[in-house]
Structures are given as structure tokens and as C-alpha cells.
Amino acid sequence: MGADIFVGLGLVLAAAAGASNVAFLFAGLVYVCIGLAYTELAAAYPVAGGGQYFVLRGLGDIFGFIAGWAVLLDFTIDVTLFAWTCVDYLSQLAPGLTQSTHPWVHFGATFLLIAGLCVLNVVGVRESTAFNGFVSALDVMSESAILCLGFLFAFRPELLIHNMQFHWPSPYELMLGISYAIISFVGLESISQAAQETQRPASIIPRTSIALILTILIFALAYSNLALGMQPWHPILDAHGHPMQFWQIFPNNPDNQGKAVALLASQVPFYGAIAALYVPILGAILLLISSNSGVFGSSRIAYAMSSTNLLPSLFQRVHAKFRTPATSIIAFCSVAILELIFAALPALDPGAKAVYARFFNGEDGLTFLADLYAFGAATSYSFVFLALIALRLTDPLSPRKFKIPLNVPMRFRGLRVEFPIVGVIGFCGIFAILLFTLYTHPIGRIAGPSWLILGIVFYIVYRRRKGLPVFHSQKRDWKRSQIDILRNAGELELMDEYLANIKATDELRAKAEA
């Protein structure tokens, strides 16, 4: 929890400058809508497929595949992006890992982290839930301490106002900042995927999700305002010896963009000397755990898609000895390594750097990874909102213990339904961020759609070879599936309510026909 602010803060400050807090606010409001949608859907349909399953059930096979393929892009980027920034944070204490001055060392360290996580997941070494919980709690306490002490001893409201007035970005830069800000608001996909292993998810998932939404939203808004209104305790000088404010070090310094929280913490009076020593380590551990979540998250999504004939059955295979989905893990870790190679090329090869400068506006490795991350997140979230609206209309009988607010009662196909206004607002917001991403990211608008096109071609070939409908959906008994889902989740009361709803509806239809 909270790992994405370690990545996103520097990128947003570099892009949106004096409007960084506005960028986080816009993305944060959209994120609240996303969080509410995921909370309702995960509580009503507690399955391992997460957003991909919601879209499959609400919109059909082809759209379920596209949403799942976009989520797979995000999870592979998770592996690379978090491993990359893990090394960035460690470079705060070990300068030999700095990407700009030692690109091959940085590349080698990131590569070893990805390869190591791949091997660990194939072998089947379990994560310690207690350790993850301890690191998350320590992270929340540390981030809270940085904010409290920073606002108490270093925050200057007049500096915040000055930076917003005199360093307001252009519309293009603001859109760029908003597209980066959305990558600071993720984690809901992982929670929805864990719903299948959660007992009584209809009660547990809403509490967990809402706590996550509020915590990350508060941290993101607070950090952006603190960075804009913070007087550095130790003066930061540019190449000519002139003093700079904190956020001004980011636009031309990708090394600092990747370790923004550690740099900000080091500037907090009194506390900064201690924070400079442990925040890089804490951030690196948190980012490594998040990178690992991308490894098993991609294999879980691939397994779920394979079980519904959206991907070949080989993604369901498990290793004979280790009993892990080795094929999926190796396949998507290989994709992550390819993304790492492409991201590192400008620093490793002067020729590649010239190509990037000419065709891709000089983007570096970190922004390349962030481009794809933003594209994948915005695409999958857009489909989830459409799935939410579709399921409200086509499956009103499924009990929804948690329901997002602002609903309009109406009738659809003879049944009473509630149309979600928040779903429409959220879709408009996330679709706008998707357009911002396509407009402002030269690599993202090429590589992102290319990933989707490649996946659709693969899907068409696979479905035709299997003799399955390509642009239509397989016939599925969603009612029987929902009964099994609720029974396996231990939600027996909701299962009984669902059966009662079906029975009452069938009786009404029988009377109407008579």
C-alpha cells in the first residue's frame, strides 16, 4: 500500500510543476470513483479475475480479453517499473547504482531483481503476510511522520501560492501531469483479485478498499502540496550555484524523479538526517514487494483468462514439482525484461538515445515505463466502469451488500434497476485521462495500442483455431456461476437472497405470460 506515491510523485512534479497538486486532485477524484466501482464489483463478484472478470461478465468475451490484456500490460510494467525504482531508491545510499552515471550497473541490478523474483515465484517461495503487513504499517507511519514534521517545520503557504502562480504549467504539461498522477492511485486490482481467497468478502472488501482509497488519496494530495510549499532545510543549488525549490530539481534530472519521497524526506528539518538513511531502504523494500505482486498478479490474471477460453490452456499448467504456474510466470517475466531493455536503451546506447530524442521527445526509461503504465491503467479502468453500468442493467438480481451512491431507479427489460451516476462520472474522468495519455506520451500512444492490437490478433487466431466465436461470447450459465461464487466465498445469506430474487422474478414473469 502506498508504493505508487514513491514512483509517481517525482514524475508529476516534473511534468505539472506548480499545478502538481491540481493534477493529483483531478486524478484522485477519478480514483475515488474507480475505488467505489471496484469495491462494489469485488464484493458482489468475489473472483480471482478482478477487473477482467467484471468486464467479461458485463460486456462479453472480446471486451473481457481486451481489459485483461491491458491489465497484463500493467502487471508486467509493475514488475519492471517497481524493480527500476527500487534500484533508484537504493542509489540514494549507493551512488554507484545511479542510472545516469552508471547505466549498465543500474540495468544489471534491475535485471537481477526481475530474474530473482521470477525464480522465487516458480519455486513457490511464499510471501510472509506478517512481513508485508509490518512493512506496510511501517510505511504508513513513516509517510505520516514525513508529512506531519514537514508541514510543521518546513511548509510555507506563501511559497505554495508563489509556485502555483509563477510556475503554472501549460495545458499540455498539466495533462501530462494528470496522466502520471493516475499511476499513484492503484492497488485496487490486487485487492479485487484477492477477493476469492477472502472469507465473507462482501463485508471485508468494502472496509479494506475504502481504507486504501482514503489513505492513498490523503497521502498523494498532502505530498504534492508539501513539495510545492516546502523550504529546503539544506539549500539545493543548480549547476550555476543558484538556489532552487524542491520540485525544480525534477524536470531535467530523471535520477531524482525515481526517488522523490526519499529526497523530500531528507529535506525535513531535524527528522531529515534520520529519514535520509532509512526511507531509501524502506522505499526499496516496499517497491520490491510491489514488483513481486506484478509477477504473481500477471500469472493469476493469465490463469483466469485461460479458464474462460480467452487465452490458451498452457497458462493454466502448473509445474510438476513446484505446483506453481511456471509457464505464466516465465512468459510475463520475459515480457517485463523486454520492457526493461527497451526502457534502458537510451542510457545504454547513444544511437538509441538519438532515436528517442528524435521520435519520442527524448523520453527516458522511467517515463517510458510510466507511459505504458498510465495507458494500461486508464484502458482497463475505462472498461470496468462500462462493466459496472452493464451489470447494473443486466444482472440486477445479484445482491450488492455495498453499492456506490447516487443511483437513479429505472426499469430495464421489465426489471427494476439502479443506474449508477458515479459510474458515468468515473468513466468520463478516466477516459479523459486515457486521451491525455495518448496525446502527451509519444511512446505510450505507439507502444500501448500496439500491445492491444497484438493481443487482439493473438485472440482472433486462438479462438478460430479452437472453433470458438471470435466477436461473440460463449454461452455461459452466469446464474449457476454466481451461486457457486457466493457459496465458495462463504456468503450463504447472499446466496439465499440471490436464489430468492431469481424465484420471485420467475414467478412474476410466469404471471405476466399467463
pLDDT digits (tens, 9 = 90+) for 132-168: 778 888 888 898 999 999 999 889 999 899 889 888 9
Query: From the CB of residue 419, how many other CB atoms can be counted at a distance below 10 Å?
Result: 15
CA distance 377 to 394: 25
Q: Which fold has domain 3-409+423-465?
A: Amino acid/polyamine transporter I (1.20.1740)
Q: Give, rounded to a whole angstrom, the gap between the first and last alpha carbons of the chain.
A: 56
Q: Residue 8 carries which side chain, given as an amino acid letter?
A: G
Q: Residue 47 carries which side chain, given as an amino acid letter?
A: V
User: What would you report as the CA-atom Rg of the chain, rounded to the nearest whole angstrom?
Assistant: 23
From residue 217, give the alpha-carbon distance in Å to each of 48, 95, 221, 223, 257: 25, 32, 6, 10, 20
Domain ranges of the chain: 3-409+423-465, 478-513
The string of pLDDT tens digits covering residues 354-367 is 766 665 665 678 88
Angle of helix 365-394 relative to helix 171-181, nearest 10 degrees, comes to 70
Q: What is the 3-state secondary structure (H, E, C) of 435-485?
A: HHHHHHCCCHHHHHHHHHHHHHHHHHHHHHHCCCCCCCCCCCCHHHHHHHH
| Per-residue DSSP letter, 170 | P
Distance of CA 267 to the CA centre of its chain: 28
pLDDT given for residue 392 in this prediction: 96
CA distance 17 to 257: 13
pLDDT given for residue 300 in this prediction: 87
pLDDT given for residue 2 in this prediction: 64
CA distance 34 to 39: 8
Residue position matching grid coordinates 431507479:
409
Nearest C-alpha neighbor of 6 from the set 261, 249, 182: 261
pLDDT given for residue 17 in this prediction: 86
CA distance 118 to 359: 33
For 443, the grid coordinates are 511512446
Give pLDDT tens digits along the chain (514 positions): 567 888 888 889 888 988 999 999 999 999 999 999 999 999 999 988 888 999 999 999 999 999 999 999 999 999 999 999 999 999 989 989 988 788 899 999 999 999 999 999 998 866 666 777 788 888 888 989 999 999 998 899 998 998 898 889 999 999 999 999 988 876 777 777 777 777 788 888 888 888 888 888 999 999 999 988 986 545 555 445 555 555 555 545 666 777 888 888 888 888 888 998 999 999 999 999 889 989 988 988 998 899 999 999 999 888 888 888 899 999 999 999 999 998 888 888 777 677 666 656 656 788 889 889 999 999 999 999 999 999 999 999 999 999 999 999 999 988 899 999 999 999 999 999 999 999 998 887 888 999 999 999 999 999 999 999 999 999 999 999 999 999 998 899 999 999 999 999 988 888 877 7
Distance of CA 511 to the CA centre of its chain: 48
